[in-house]
């Protein structure tokens, strides 16, 4: 299923609007040495990225070095919640760099204290202890470690199973991939730990039974009892297709976990910091989990992540035993503090909610127009358009690939995640996007979709 872009430059229609500018062939001939160097020196696993060589990015727009300008629907990969290249974040980063403290592990710093305090302040009870890490995967690994430690402590060694969901993506490290629910991604592990069990995610599309009873039935079928479960972990929305679980399901899950002393972990690596139209994604469910994983949009820039949780759980490991070299790197902390202040001060969660409404209206209208759109999901400024063979639920990754390519050639940047046959087109612009840009980019996307479908029908005729 691996797809790669053709690197032979082709003429594409020129575009010039106040927001988008395409003035070269595509890929840009002058960019080929960069793309070729990446092909030569990086593993092929890094291929498949659209061949747009970023030079500069600002707000919701991305520029290359050859005069082209895109409306960005990727936010990097859901990183730049506060917008690309925000002056306040740049100043925080450079200010911290000029203060001549670039790293200080294993000693404390004032800025690390400020960031963990700020994150705890913004989190509801009982999420009051924060551990800073570098990547989303590390927060997931840490959550697994804490769940198992907790389970074994309260229920003995048998209480160690981590229940997660089919099609989930939690990262690419060993534990995170075992918690993930995409079989192809973990074939390499060979001896999968039987203490990781997945059940269907109640997305309403592939899993039509979205009742909590079905969750219990599936556990039963897999021979797992509550007394064996240390934690249940899920993405607040599934990253691949932006699917949320029903609110009633999540409330029942919360209650069931509490009743059986099972930790509930929400992976908000994508859903945090305003993305879904509320500051935290779990607010949509009216619940508070025991542990939350954050990454990506926490800083809108430099690599930093955090796990926040119940103090009794976060304190399970003794001093010096749950640490990481780059924890609380001062420059990354400065970036995170600045980004969080922008998200709060500019009420970007509210902008995500309002712009998301407009985006989702436009996408729902497209769904009515195209039988090739099986499903549109998401909330706020995350959406996924699932391409299918008309009249079926069969993913059509080739169509998604073609639509993404055509959209990029029209000046709108986006990507389709791994999993689901590459058939889900993800839409996740920076939360500072404007109404004008939402309207213009959805129009370009619809044109691209129509062209891809027409070409396919023409080829079949």
Q: Site residues (CB under 6 A) for ligand PMP?
A: 135-137, 140, 169-171, 235, 239, 267, 269-270, 295
Of 235 and 290, the one with the shorter C-beta distance to ligand PMP is 235
Complex with ligand PMP: residue 43 or 318, whichever CB lies closer:
43
Closest distance to ligand PMP from the beta carbon of 267 (Å):
5
Which residue's CB comes closest to ligand PMP?
136
Helix 330-345 vs helix 87-98: crossing angle, to nearest 10: 150
- Nearest approach in angstroms of CB 75 to ligand PMP is 12
CB of 321 to ligand PMP, least distance (A): 22
Longest dimension (CA), the chain: 69
Q: How far is the CB of 253 from ligand PMP (least distance, A)?
A: 18
Q: How far apart are CA 306 and CA 330, in angstroms?
A: 14
Residue 264: count other Cβ atoms within 10 Å of its Cβ: 23
Q: Are 7 and 430 in contact (CB under 8 A)?
A: no
DSSP 10: B
Give ∠ CA 230-232-235 in degrees, rounded to 5: 150
CB 155 to ligand PMP: min, Å: 27
**Tokens found for residue 395:** 């993913």
Establish whether the linkage from the previous residue to 126 is cis, with ω within 30° of 0: yes
Instruction: Kindly tell me which of 235 and 440 has the beta carbon lying closer to ligand PMP.
Output: 235
Nearest to 267 by CA among 111, 162, 413, 120: 162
User: 159 or 426: whose CB is closer to ligand PMP?
Assistant: 426
Q: Which is nearer to ligand PMP, 161 or 234 (CB)?
A: 234
Find out whether 380 and 276 touch, Cβ atoms under 8 Å: yes
Which one, 203 or 267, has the nearer CB to ligand PMP?
267
Whether 69 contacts 411, CB under 8 Å? yes
What phi, psi does 16 have (nearest 5°)? -145, 105
In terms of Cα–Cα distance, which of 334, 265, 307, 300 is closest to 119? 307
Nearer to ligand PMP, 127 or 140 (CB): 140
Please give the full DSSP string across 181-231, using - where no structure is assigned: --GGGGGGG-S--TTEEEE----SSS-----HHHHHHHHHHTT--GGGEEE
Report the candidate in 451, 117, 142 with the shortest Cα–Cα distance to residue 291.
142
Q: Which helix (H) or strand (E) holds 62?
A: strand 61-63
Q: Quickly count: other Cβ atoms within 10 Å of residue 398's Cβ.
A: 16
Q: Tell me whether residue 428 or residue 452 sits nearer to ligand PMP (CB atom).
A: 428
State the minimum distance, in angstroms, from the CB of residue 271 to ligand PMP: 8
Rounded to whole angstroms, the Cα distance separating 190 from 10 reads 43
Residue 3: how many other CB atoms lie within 10 Å = 14
In terms of CB distance, is 5 or 415 closer to ligand PMP? 415
Q: Which is nearer to ligand PMP, 70 or 237 (CB)?
A: 237
Q: How far is the CB of 378 from ligand PMP (least distance, A)?
A: 14
Q: What are the helix (H) ranges across 193-310?
A: 212-221, 247-259
User: Whole-number minimum distance, CB 392 to ligand PMP, in Å?
Assistant: 27
Smallest gap, in angstroms, from Cβ of residue 171 to ligand PMP?
3
Smallest gap from Cβ 138 to ligand PMP, in A, equals 7
């Amino acid at each position: 299923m691996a797809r790669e872009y053709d690197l032979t430059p082709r003429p594409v229609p020129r575009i010039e609007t106040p927001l988008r500018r395409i003035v070269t062939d595509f890929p840009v001939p002058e960019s080929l040495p960069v793309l070729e160097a990446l092909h030569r020196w990086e593993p092929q696993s890094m291929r498949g990225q659209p061949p747009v060589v970023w030079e500069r990015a600002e707000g919701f727009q991305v520029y290359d070095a050859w005069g082209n300008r895109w409306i960005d629907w990727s936010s990097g990969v859901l990183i730049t919640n506060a917008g690309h290249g925000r002056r306040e974040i740049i100043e925080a980063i450079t200010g911290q760099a000029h203060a001549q403290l670039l790293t200080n592990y294993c000693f404390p710093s004032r800025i690390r204290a400020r960031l963990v305090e700020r994150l705890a302040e913004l989190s509801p009870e009982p999420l009051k202890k924060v551990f800073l890490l570098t990547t989303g995967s590390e927060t997931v690994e840490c959550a697994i470690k804490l769940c198992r430690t907790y389970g074994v402590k309260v229920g003995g060694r048998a209480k160690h199973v981590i229940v997660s969901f089919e099609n989930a993506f939690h990262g690419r490290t060993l534990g995170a991939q075992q918690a993930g629910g995409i079989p192809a991604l973990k074939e390499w592990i060979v001896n999968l730990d039987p203490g990781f069990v997945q059940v269907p995610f109640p997305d309403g599309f592939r899993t039509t039974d979205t009742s909590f009873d079905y969750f219990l039935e599936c556990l039963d079928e897999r021979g797992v009892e509550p007394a064996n479960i240390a934690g249940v972990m899920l993405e607040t929305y599934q990253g691949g297709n932006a699917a949320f679980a029903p609110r009633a399901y999540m409330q029942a899950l919360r209650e069931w976990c509490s009743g059986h002393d099972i930790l509930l972990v929400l992976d908000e690596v994508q859903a945090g910091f305003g993305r879904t139209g509320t500051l935290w994604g779990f607010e949509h469910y009216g619940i508070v989990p025991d542990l939350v994983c954050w990454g990506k949009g926490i800083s809108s820039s430099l690599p930093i992540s955090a796990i926040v949780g119940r103090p009794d759980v976060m304190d399970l490991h003794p001093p010096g035993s749950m640490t990481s070299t780059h924890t609380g790197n001062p420059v990354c902390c400065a970036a995170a503090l600045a980004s969080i202040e922008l998200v709060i001060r500019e009420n970007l969660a509210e902008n995500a909610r309002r712009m998301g409404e407009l985006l989702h209206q436009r996408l729902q209208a497209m769904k009515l127009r195209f039988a090739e759109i099986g499903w549109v999901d998401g909330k706020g400024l995350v959406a996924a358009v699932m391409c299918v063979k008309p009249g079926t639920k069969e993913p059509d990754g080739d169509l998604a690939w073609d639509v993404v390519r055509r959209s990029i050639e029209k000046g709108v940047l986006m990507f389709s995640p791994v999993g689901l046959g590459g058939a889900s087109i993800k839409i996740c612009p920076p939360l500072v996007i404007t109404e004008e840009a939402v309207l213009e980019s959805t129009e370009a996307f619809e044109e691209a979709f129509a062209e891809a479908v027409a070409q396919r029908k023409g080829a079949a005729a």
